[in-house]
């Protein structure tokens, strides 16, 4: 039998990984557990925090990472999806892992897996676990890919879990009700540890599941609260103790719920960070960085990118926009097939004047004509234009922008990623000229 030829570079490896397993998403943990055992990983870190939720996972991970790092803890993070480069998914001490380390790990996993197939995400998860294991880290923070209960990240027993929010998304896999989705995300809880819910009004199933497991369930407005001031914010505990802290470098009042949950997690796992309340904590807050979340990449004209891809995140995007004076606003939107167009467009009706629908060119992308068809019950057809690809939608939108206009790019990580590639090329051409 002829031996298969191994991919030679990162792109080839990633393309091959997407073909290895018949399904992109396949909630069965036996495959990854089997290969994980062969990797002989003793411990990915001294302590592990897992973060699940519909929205806010990335910002919660970034907050924890920054504060821990500024307090001299070694910390690894695993997040998904990436925006520009695959390396973004795995960070060690706030630095993306090298391509060489990725390729070496891919080769090893491919050899060890034998006849077992792995999904793209399972391959990524195992790669992260191996690289973390090599570093003897104090902390690893894992962002759940989808759901929680059957997500690949959940093969690790965490020391503490955070659920950021519960909203309607990925109904094909998680169910169509808040309670069913909450049940899937509750799967990250562990017996005799703590689980923190960052939002208010947790679904009832979280309480019952926590009680069944013996999990210490804590939540916003009961065990902690946040209050925004003009130049600071106050984090308050149920014992009436509080900290006054610098404003987050993240846009959106909702981000303070995530920060509040992160601080409670640190109070449980590293109480001295909270007790000391010194420059390390404050610098950790000031130095939080997160790509693609209400990120302003130009001010004249104003260009904003946001990976909002479900109803809740679209509402938060709208809330952010409404804090500022109304402008003539264009929006480029590109979506995946499983997204509810109505719920992503409806919140934005009062802030968007003209729509540019593009087609994300992969098997999961929704055709732009389909997006338009689903928008017509909400939006005048004369304010919608469609394009066969995302690049043409960007070119068209940019050509119509006036100095005082605003452009919003949203709907998917893919959409934002493609725009950033396009925008970088524009800047390079301008530099040459």
Query: Structural domain boundaries of the chain?
Result: 10-286, 295-432
pLDDT digits (tens, 9 = 90+) for 323-334: 999 999 999 999
- The pLDDT score that the predictor gives to residue 362 is 87
Specify the CATH number for 295-432; select among 3.40.50.1860, 3.20.20.70, 3.60.15.10, 3.90.190.20.
Answer: 3.90.190.20
- The pLDDT score that the predictor gives to residue 87 is 98
- The pLDDT score that the predictor gives to residue 23 is 87
Decide if 294 contacts 304 (C-beta within 8 A). yes
**pLDDT of 342 higher than 80:** yes
**DSSP sequence for 205-239:** HHHHHHHHHT-EEEEBTTTEEEEE-SSEEEEEETT
For residues 196-224, average pLDDT: 97
**pLDDT of 431 higher than 80:** no
Measure the CA–CA gap between 234 and 359, rounded to whole angstroms.
43
Q: pLDDT band at residue 5, thresholds of 50, 70 and 90?
A: confident
% of the chain residues with pLDDT over 90: 90
- The pLDDT score that the predictor gives to residue 1 is 33
Name the nearest CA neighbour of 57 among 184, 189, 177, 165.
Answer: 165
At 9, is the secondary structure helix, strand, or coil?
coil
pLDDT digits (tens, 9 = 90+) for 281-295: 999 999 999 999 999
Decide if 327 contacts 303 (C-beta within 8 A). no
Decide if 195 contacts 269 (C-beta within 8 A). no
**DSSP sequence for 248-285:** PSSSSTTHHHHHHHHHHHHHHH-HHHHHH--HHHHHHH
The dihedrals phi and psi of 88, each to the nearest 5 degrees, come to -55, -30
Strands (E), 282-411: 295-299, 302-305, 329-333, 354-357, 384-386, 406-410
For residues 392-399, average pLDDT: 97
At 76, is the secondary structure helix, strand, or coil?
strand
Q: Which residues contact 15 (CB under 8 A, 6 or more apart)?
A: 7
**pLDDT of 172 higher than 90:** no
- 158 burial class (0-12, 13-18, 19+ CB within 10 angstroms)? buried
Q: Which residues contact 358 (CB under 8 A, 6 or more apart)?
A: 332, 333, 334, 368, 386, 387, 389, 390, 391, 392, 393, 394, 415
For residues 375-400, average pLDDT: 97
Tokens read off for 336:
């995946």
- The pLDDT score that the predictor gives to residue 24 is 85
Identify the bridge partners of residue 299 per DSSP, sorted by sequence position: 302
pLDDT digits (tens, 9 = 90+) for 33-72: 999 999 999 899 999 999 999 999 999 999 999 999 999 9
pLDDT digits (tens, 9 = 90+) for 76-121: 999 999 999 999 999 999 999 999 999 999 999 999 999 999 999 9
- The pLDDT score that the predictor gives to residue 233 is 98
Q: pLDDT band at residue 3, thresholds of 50, 70 and 90?
A: very low
For residues 356-370, average pLDDT: 95
**pLDDT of 322 higher than 90:** yes
- The pLDDT score that the predictor gives to residue 429 is 56
* pTM, full prediction: 0.92
Q: What residue has token string 């909270």?
A: 274
The dihedrals phi and psi of 82, each to the nearest 5 degrees, come to -85, 160
- The pLDDT score that the predictor gives to residue 287 is 97
Q: Which CATH architecture has domain 10-286?
A: 3-Layer(aba) Sandwich (3.40)
More confident residue, 167 or 152: 152
- The pLDDT score that the predictor gives to residue 4 is 60
């Amino acid at each position: 039998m002829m031996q298969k030829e191994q991919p030679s570079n990162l792109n080839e490896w990633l393309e091959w990984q997407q073909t290895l397993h018949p399904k992109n998403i396949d909630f069965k943990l036996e495959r990854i557990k089997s290969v994980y055992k062969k990797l002989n990983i003793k411990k990915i870190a001294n302590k592990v925090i897992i973060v699940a939720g519909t929205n806010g996972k990335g910002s919660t991970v970034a907050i924890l990472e920054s504060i821990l790092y500024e307090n001299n803890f070694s910390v690894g993070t695993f997040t998904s999806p990436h925006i520009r480069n695959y390396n973004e998914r795995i960070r060690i001490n706030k630095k993306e892992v090298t391509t060489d380390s990725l390729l070496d790990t891919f080769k090893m996993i491919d050899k060890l897996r034998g006849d077992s197939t792995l999904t793209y995400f399972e391959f990524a998860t195992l790669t992260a676990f191996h690289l973390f294991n090599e570093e003897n880290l104090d902390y690893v923070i894992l962002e759940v890919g989808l759901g929680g209960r059957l997500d690949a990240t959940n093969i690790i027993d965490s020391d503490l879990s955070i659920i950021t929010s519960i909203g309607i998304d990925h109904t094909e896999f998680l169910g169509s009700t808040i309670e069913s989705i909450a049940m899937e995300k509750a799967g990250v809880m562990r017996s005799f540890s703590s689980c923190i819910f960052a939002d208010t009004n947790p679904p009832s199933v979280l309480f019952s599941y926590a009680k069944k497991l013996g999990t210490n369930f804590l939540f916003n407005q009961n065990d902690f609260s946040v209050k925004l001031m003009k130049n600071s914010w106050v984090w308050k505990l149920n014992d009436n103790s509080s900290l006054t802290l610098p404003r987050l470098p993240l846009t959106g009042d909702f981000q303070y719920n995530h920060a509040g949950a992160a601080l409670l997690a640190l109070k449980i796992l590293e109480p001295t960070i909270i007790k000391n309340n010194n420059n390390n904590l404050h610098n950790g807050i000031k130095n939080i960085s997160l790509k693609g979340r209400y990120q302003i990449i130009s001010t004249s004209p104003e260009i904003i990118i946001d990976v909002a891809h479900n109803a809740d995140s679209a509402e938060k995007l709208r809330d952010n926009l409404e804090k500022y004076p109304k402008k003539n606003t264009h929006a480029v939107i590109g979506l995946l097939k499983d997204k509810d167009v109505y719920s992503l467009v409806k919140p934005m009706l009062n802030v968007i004047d003209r729509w540019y629908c593009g087609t994300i060119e992969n098997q999961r992308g929704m055709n732009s004509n389909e997006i338009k068809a689903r928008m017509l019950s909400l939006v005048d057809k004369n304010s919608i234009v469609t394009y066969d690809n995302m690049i043409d939608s960007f070119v068209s939108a940019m050509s119509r922008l006036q100095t005082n206009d605003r452009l919003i790019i949203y709907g998917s990580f893919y959409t934002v990623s493609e725009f950033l590639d396009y925008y970088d090329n524009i800047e390079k051409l301008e530099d040459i000229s």
